[in-house]
Amino acid sequence: MTWLVTGGAGYIGAHVVRALREDGVDVVVLDDLSTGDASRIGDVPLVQASLLDRDAVDRTIVEHDVRGVVHIAAKKQVGESVADPFYYYRQNVLGQLVLMESMRDHGVGRFVFSSSAATYGAPDTALVEEKSHLEPESPYGQTKVVGEWLAKDAEAAYGVRSVCLRYFNVAGAATPELGDPEALNLIPMVFERLTRGERPQIFGDDYPTPDGTCIRDYIHVADIATAHVSAARYLEGEGSSLVLNIGRGEGSSVREVIDMVGEVTGLDVTADVVARRPGDPPRTVASADGIRRWLGWEAQYDLRDMVSSAWDGWTLRHPEALDLPRRP
């Protein structure tokens, strides 16, 4: 059985491809390489195409005898989605629709969907459960909600079973070569500022949390990858469709993350506190009970592992960071 991984040459996708291969699964990747890198996936077959290209999707499914799909390809920047929502609906929603129509027409009945904690918006609860109300605060988050609706309706109408995985805050790298190439999340943003000789920034320290900074559930990208393998294996059985969080069920504050960067790197991480960012909830932490119960999956890596592996990936691409002065 071959699994198609869309977006498989990206940061998360390449980790999923690696984990599937290590589990003995045959894989083909479809990626337009707008943000992906073909070198990340080695000798795995790659089809360079957009999901909006129905002919390319059809050929990939037929020529590689695809029997299951892991759908990761998407645009994912919240601010960009606010500025250009139609682009996000076209890429994320229409792209998924084209993909799932092809699956239906070729009898592919297993679907793992890369969803997001952005579907929840800013939940006012200690632990976010899958049954929590969905109130996304950006077009990006809305496209993920619609993606889950598509998956649910595909089961009712066409018998396509799915596992929708709502990621929380992804970090780290399985190997330095697979590190996150962009500085769009907290840990690489801290690395980027330190490498430029600037202080890290904390967006508000007056939240109702123990140290006043926002708390998030950080999850290692290698754990994200094994969760996808568990979901694919689950669908190879006769299990019904699921919607599950991927998180550790533990929160780390922004200040705790920055302090861990200091411990791992030996750098001075004294931070500047600046104004809050609009829409940042004080605390977002996953309930991980569902994925543990249904897939028997648990996260294996902690915050130190995430920061350490992310730093190894960062310094591979930015070797000048290794020459920064260490704290006495």
Catalytic site positions: 140
Q: In the chain, count of helices (H) and strands (E)?
A: 11, 14
The pair of three-digit structure tokens given for residue 138, joined into one six-digit string:
């950006």
| Residue pair 70/228 in contact by the 8 Å Cβ criterion | yes
The pair of three-digit structure tokens given for residue 204, joined into one six-digit string:
């508000």
| Residue pair 179/313 in contact by the 8 Å Cβ criterion | yes
| Residue pair 218/303 in contact by the 8 Å Cβ criterion | yes
Q: What angle do CA 291, 51, 117 make, to 5 degrees?
A: 30
- Beta strand 252-253 pairing with 215-216: antiparallel
| Residue pair 21/229 in contact by the 8 Å Cβ criterion | no
Cα–Cα dist 290/164, whole Å: 12
Cβ atoms < 10 Å from Cβ of 181? 16
Report CA torsion sign: 170, 173, 174, 177. positive
Cα–Cα dist 30/299, whole Å: 27
Cα–Cα dist 61/239, whole Å: 23
Cα–Cα dist 156/2, whole Å: 24
